[in-house]
């Protein structure tokens, strides 16, 4: 399968980690764990030259593919062989980081187990393992990534210091090298104007808050990524347990906000959700930010059983599919900004129309 | 029938002059002619005292009712016997002027022929005859009002000067005392940004442009009232012919604007109309200005056959029914601003839902 075919296969698939699994998935969209690992005695990617990087990349790839440490490793991409558009697609699907999307020589991505597991090669570190699960499920994600890590560590000599732990390119990852995050959907806290207080509380607990696409994308679509900041001084399980406990509190907080609004200011929720639906279902030009925020409101409406014909799964997918690279690849041709906004409106409108027509039959 | 019963009867009726009659009614909503008349030898209302005004009012009323000059004169209201809310209702239905809604002692309104004909007594002048017809139909409106005027002039001695013509309280009405106006719906000219140039042109022709509720209400809902400014030096028929000819040009201009946009910028019209529909059909809180503008867009969409389940008649009525006094009377209780906005959204949403459900069956 050549790169174009692989990309098209990816594009045609629903995002596997957005499949609701009943694990608080009304409010917790997905749980992600990343582990940073490096090979002993080899320069970190940022200081290695292009040839060294390519050599390490091939070595890691061969080892991983032959190892059976990953379930069904279906896709492999060399970054510098991908077009800018294809790299953007991988970024929008949260398979690669901003850094990797810059396509440094000798960087690559392995995708496995649907899109639930993946490995970035030669990002900031030699390996960045990633496991993404739907809902709030850091424990399962940890079991999975921990298995992959153990399995690979028998085949690759990971740089490890008995005092510091795993050595990483950036000191902020040293120790466990773990970055755990949960993406939460908190429109109730936004609508009831409690979000700033809640996020302030999160930050004072030493956790980080980001938007759907990392730093600087806060609050788009009411989606927030909460992650651990420190990788040192706590075990992986402690980090995960502490994060999970905070997330559970936020989920309760969001649910209470919705109940309170439904009891005391029902018109605010009905109006917010109704208008969002009206916009998504009937607009012919739709910007990305407006689309994300409207989808966020609609998602809450579906959670609240206001739209029996619609399902969370489809709305989750739309959050991904309305992004520029997805739209351009679906359209199969270049689109200027206005054309993208028209295409975005078409995709959303048609998706909702189709669901409603299916629900009727 | 007491006043409350008469008001309720009015409220329950669809506005008769909003019934589409095929006379350019896609763009020309209605045509109105008013004639100012005064009784010879009696002080103008503004200088008469309360007792004099009441006396003149009773005299005019008795004469008019006994004259059979009006078809089916069904309703009679003494202004100072009406609540502020009821007076506002009459204002919203364009049966009385702002001045009369101030409820001066000895002022009254007679409504006849559905709501097509009416007479304000002791507004600025002793009599203000009004005829309102759907569509562009100043000629028929003139025939009608001219008949009423001739008929009444045989029973009431109208103040007339052979050199100046009819004498009126305000010099701007002296001569013919005629004020002819057509309400136009021009969303295409607004959307294509040609409206300011068009209205500037209208003003240079010596015509006046106002909004749906007179001066200061320009451009709400894309509705414009175009009327003659001068009442002196031209015959009534010349005034009407000149106004009609300008209106026909504006109608052509509006139609061309729509065709051009549909050809070259279809997405702008589809998006504008689609979003308006989405808002009207799904909002739960709706301000008056937003409602008027959205109805305006939807009306154009219905004209353009984008909504087969909806009809112009119902949308025309909504333009009237979403006004505060109508909403309060429909609700049957006092409503604060937020409650009015909620009620407005309910009325609009339910009307559209009902039409769609009827169209399906």
Domain region containing B273: 266-360
CB contact residues (below 8 A), chain A span 276-295, against chain B: 277-279, 281-285
Which helix (H) or strand (E) element contains residue A131? strand A127-134
- Tokens 């109508």 locate to B326
Same domain? For B239 and B273 the reply is no
Q: Is A274 on the interface with B (CB under 8 A)?
A: yes
Interface predicted TM-score (ipTM): 0.87
Q: Verify whether the Cβ–Cβ distance B275 to A267 is below 8 Å.
A: no
Tell me which chain B residue has its CA closest to the CA of residue A282: B274
Same domain? For B74 and B169 the reply is yes
Question: Which of helix, strand or coil describes residue B7?
Answer: helix
Record the pTM. 0.89
CATH number at residue A229: 3.30.590.10
Residue B1 has pLDDT above 80, yes or no: no
Residue B106 has pLDDT above 70, yes or no: yes
B179, B34 contact by CB (below 8 A):
yes
Nearest by CB to residue A282, choosing from B278, B285, B342, is B278
Residue B212 has pLDDT above 70, yes or no: no
Same domain? For B99 and B148 the reply is yes
Same domain? For A220 and A296 the reply is no
Tell me which chain A residue has its CA closest to the CA of residue B306: A282
Same domain? For A60 and A122 the reply is yes
Nearest by CB to residue A284, choosing from B271, B279, B281, is B271
Same domain? For B17 and B111 the reply is yes
Same domain? For B231 and B289 the reply is no
Q: Which residues of B touch A279 (CB under 8 A)?
A: 275, 278-279
Which helix (H) or strand (E) element contains residue B226? strand B223-228
* Best residue of A274, A345, A348 to probe chain B, by most B CBs closer than 10 Å: A274
Nearest by CB to residue B274, choosing from A277, A284, A338, is A284
Q: Report residue A192: phi and psi, to 5°.
A: -95, 10
Q: Verify whether the Cβ–Cβ distance A275 to B270 is below 8 Å.
A: no
Q: Verify whether the Cβ–Cβ distance A284 to B277 is below 8 Å.
A: no
Q: Is A344 on the interface with B (CB under 8 A)?
A: no
Which residues make beta-bridge pairs with A166?
A: A160, A175
CB contact residues (below 8 A), chain B span 237-256, against chain A: none
Listed residues A239, A257, A275: the one ending a domain: A257
Residue B215 has pLDDT above 60, yes or no: no
- Chain centroid to Cα A198, Å, comes to 22
Q: Is B307 on the interface with A (CB under 8 A)?
A: no
Same domain? For B219 and B319 the reply is no
Same domain? For B171 and B279 the reply is no
Q: Give A179's contacts (C-beta < 8 A, 6+ positions apart).
A: A33, A34, A35, A36, A173, A227, A228, A231
Number of A–B residue contacts, CB under 8 Å: 50
Nearest by CB to residue A277, choosing from B267, B274, B282, is B282
Q: Is B172 on the interface with A (CB under 8 A)?
A: no
Which residues make beta-bridge pairs with B109?
A: B77, B120
Q: Of A345, A320, A313, A290, nearest to A92 (Cα)?
A: A320
Per-residue pLDDT tens digits of chain A, which is 361 residues long: 688 888 988 888 888 888 887 788 889 999 999 999 999 999 898 888 889 999 999 999 999 999 999 988 889 999 999 999 999 999 999 999 999 998 788 999 999 999 999 999 999 999 999 999 999 999 999 999 999 999 999 999 999 998 888 998 888 888 888 999 999 999 999 999 999 999 999 999 989 998 765 555 555 778 899 998 877 778 899 999 999 999 999 999 999 999 999 999 999 999 999 999 999 999 999 999 999 999 999 999 999 999 999 999 999 999 999 999 999 999 999 999 999 999 999 999 999 999 999 988 7
**C-alpha dist (Å) from residue B62 to A13, B7, B90, B110:** 81, 21, 22, 11
Q: Verify whether the Cβ–Cβ distance B274 to A267 is below 8 Å.
A: no
Min Cα distance B282 → chain A (Å) is: 5
Encoded tokens for B13: 């009726």
Encoded tokens for B178: 């005629």
Q: Please, what is the end-to-end C-alpha distance for chain B in angstroms?
A: 38
Listed residues B230, B257, B284: the one ending a domain: B257
Nearest by CB to residue B275, choosing from A271, A282, A342, is A282
Same domain? For B174 and B222 the reply is yes
Q: Verify whether the Cβ–Cβ distance A275 to B277 is below 8 Å.
A: no
CB contact residues (below 8 A), chain B span 148-167, against chain A: none
If one counts the domains in chain A, the total is: 2
Q: Verify whether the Cβ–Cβ distance B275 to A281 is below 8 Å.
A: no
Encoded tokens for B299: 């009306």
* Best residue of A264, A269, A271 to probe chain B, by most B CBs closer than 10 Å: A271
Listed residues A227, A257, A287: the one ending a domain: A257
Nearest by CB to residue A285, choosing from B267, B278, B285, is B267
Same domain? For B212 and B352 the reply is no
DSSP code string of B295-361: HHHHHHHHHTTS-TT--HHHHHHHHHHTSHHHHHHHHTS---HHHHHHHHHHHHHHHHHHHHHHHH-
Same domain? For B29 and B168 the reply is yes
**Alpha carbon distance B332, B12 (integer Å):** 13
B267, A342 contact by CB (below 8 A):
yes
Q: Which residues of B touch A270 (CB under 8 A)?
A: 284
**Alpha carbon distance B192, A42 (integer Å):** 64
């Amino acid at each position: 399968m050549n790169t174009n075919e692989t990309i098209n296969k990816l594009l045609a698939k629903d995002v596997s980690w957005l499949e609701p699994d009943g694990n608080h998935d009304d409010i917790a969209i997905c749980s992600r764990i990343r582990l940073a690992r490096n090979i002993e005695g080899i320069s970190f990617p940022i200081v290695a030259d292009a040839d060294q990087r390519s050599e390490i990349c091939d070595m890691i790839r061969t080892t991983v593919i032959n190892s059976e440490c990953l379930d069904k490793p279906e896709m492999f991409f060399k970054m510098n062989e991908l077009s800018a558009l294809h790299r953007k697609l991988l970024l929008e699907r949260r398979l690669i980081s901003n850094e990797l999307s810059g396509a440094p020589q000798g960087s690559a991505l392995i995708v496995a187990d649907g899109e639930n597991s993946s490995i970035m090669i030669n990002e900031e570190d030699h390996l960045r393992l990633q496991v993404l699960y739907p809902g709030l499920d850091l424990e399962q994600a940890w079991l999975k990534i921990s298995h992959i890590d153990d399995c690979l560590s028998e085949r690759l000599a990971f740089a490890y210091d008995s005092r510091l732990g795993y050595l990483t390119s950036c000191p902020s990852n040293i120790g466990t090298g773990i970055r755990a995050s949960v993406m939460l959907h908190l429109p109730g806290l936004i609508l009831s104007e409690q979000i700033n207080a809640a996020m302030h509380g999160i930050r004072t607990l030493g956790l980080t808050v980001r938007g759907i696409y990392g730093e600087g994308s806060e609050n788009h679509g009411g989606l927030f990524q909460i992650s651990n900041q420190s990788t040192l001084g706590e075990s992986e399980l402690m980090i995960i347990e502490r994060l999970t406990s905070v997330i559970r509190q936020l989920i309760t907080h969001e649910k209470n906000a919705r109940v309170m609004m439904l009891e005391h200011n029902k018109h605010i929720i009905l109006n917010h959700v109704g208008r969002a639906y009206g916009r998504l279902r009937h607009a012919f030009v739709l910007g990305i930010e407006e689309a994300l925020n409207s989808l966020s409101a609609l998602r809450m409406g579906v959670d609240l059983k206001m739209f029996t014909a619609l399902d969370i799964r489809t709305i989750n997918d739309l959050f991904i599919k309305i992004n520029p690279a997805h739209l351009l690849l679906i359209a199969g041709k270049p689109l200027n900004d206005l054309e993208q906004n028209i295409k975005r409106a078409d995709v959303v409108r048609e998706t909702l129309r189709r669901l409603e027509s299916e629900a009727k039959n």
